[in-house]
Structure 1
Amino acid sequence: MNKPTVESVVALALNEDIGTGDVSASLLKDEKVAAQIIVRESAIICGIEYAQNAFLSLDKNIQIEWQLNDGDRMDKNQILCMISGTSRAIISAERVALNFLQTLSAVATKTRYLVDKIAHTNAQLLDTRKTIPGLRLAQKYAVKCGGGVNHRMGLYDAVMLKENHIIAAGSIGCAIKSAMQKYPNLPLIVEVENLTQLQQVLPLDGVERVLCDNFSIVDLAQAVRLSNGKLPLEASGNIDENTILAVAKTGVDYISTGSITKNIQAIDLSLRFN
Structure 2
Amino acid sequence: MDTFLLDTLLRGFLNEDLEHGDITTESIFSKEDQSEACFVARHPMTVVGMGTVATRVFQLLDGNVVCDNAIPDGMRVEKGEVMLHFQGATRTLLRGERVALNLVQRLCGIATLTSVFADQVKHTKAKVVDTRKTTPGLRMLEKYAVRSSGGHNHRYSLSDGVLIKDNHIAACGSITEAVRRVRQRVPHTINVEVETDTLTQVEECLLCGVGVIMLDNMDLPTMREAVQLIDGRAVVEASGGVNLETVRGIAETGVDIISVGALTHSAKACDIGMDWRG
Q: Same fold, TM exceeding 0.5?
A: yes
Contact 1:39 1:79 in 2 (8 A): yes
- CA shift at 1:12, angstroms? 1.0
Alpha-carbon offset, residue 122 of structure 1: 1.3
Q: Does 1:127 align with 2:120?
A: no
Residue in structure 1 matching 2:39, options 37, 40, 46: 37
Q: Does 1:186 align with 2:186?
A: no
* Corresponding residue for residue 217 of structure 2: 214
Q: Which amino acid aligns with 1:183?
A: V
Whole-Å Cα distance in 1 between the matches of residues 154 and 138 of structure 2? 15
Gaps of 5+ in 2: none
What letter is aligned with 1:28? Answer: I
Which amino acid in structure 1 is aligned with residue 9 of structure 2? V
Instruction: Give the share of equivalent positions with the same residue, in percent.
Output: 36
Counterpart contact for 1:102–1:268, Cα < 8 Å:
yes
Report what 1:26 is aligned to. 26
Q: How does 1:1-150 map to 2 (within 5 A)?
A: 1-30=1-30, 31-48=33-50, 49-150=52-153
For residue 208 of structure 2, what is the aligned residue in structure 1?
204
Report how many residues are paired: 273
Shift of 1:34: 1.2
Residue 28 (structure 1) shift: 2.4
2:157 is matched with 154
CA distance in structure 1 between the aligned counterparts of 2:63 and 2:265, rounded to whole angstroms: 33
TM-score (norm 2): 0.96
Offset from partner CA, 1:23-82 (integer Å, 9 cap, x none)? 111122230111111111111111132211111121110001134211111111001111
| Preserved contact between residue 28 and residue 88 of structure 1 (Cα < 8 Å) | no
Q: Give the whole-Å Cα distance in 1 for the aligned partners of 2:43 and 2:148.
A: 18
Q: Secondary structure at the match of 2:23?
A: coil
| Secondary structure of 1:157 counterpart | coil
**Mapped partners of 1:136, 1:77: distance in 2:** 29
Alpha-carbon RMSD across the aligned residues, in angstroms, is 1.0
Q: Could you list the runs of 5+ residues in structure 1 that have no partner in the other structure?
A: none
Counterpart of 1:166 (choices 169, 192, 201) is 169
Q: Which amino acid aligns with 2:6?
A: V
Q: Which amino acid aligns with 1:189?
A: E
TM-score normalized by structure 1? Answer: 0.97
Q: For the residues of structure 1 that align with 2:251 and 2:266, how far apart are their CA atoms?
A: 20
Tell me the residue number matched to 2:265: 262
| Amino acid corresponding to residue 34 of structure 2 in structure 1 | K
Aligned partner of 2:22: which letter?
D
- Give SS of 1:150's match: coil
